[in-house]
Amino acid sequence: MLLQTFVKEWVALRSSVTPSVGPVISCHLCNKSIRDISWLLNIPRSTVLVGFITKWKQLGTTATQPPSGRPRNMTERVSTC
């Protein structure tokens, strides 16, 4: 019964959410608990919380961000042997 309710809510919400936002964020916007989301999608709870929801709240996206800091200076090393 919980799964049927979830599917109906997810289908209704999916049309109003951009396609780049995945089912984890859609469930979160439907006020599903982290435990329910992890159970429904078979994803560990820590991944749901830190990997998706926290990242989405802070950055507004779940896409991979470029690393911070200056890029390393890549020079060719000459071997002395």
Q: How far apart are CA 11 and CA 4, in angstroms?
A: 11
Determine the Cα–Cα distance for residues 60 and 41; give it in Å rounded to an integer: 21
Q: From CA 55, how far away is CA 75, in angstroms rounded? A: 35
pLDDT tens digits along 2-53: 666 776 776 666 544 433 358 888 888 889 898 988 888 888 888 888 878 8
Digit-coded pLDDT (tens) for 51-65: 788 888 888 877 788
Which residue ranges make up each domain of the chain?
Answer: 2-59
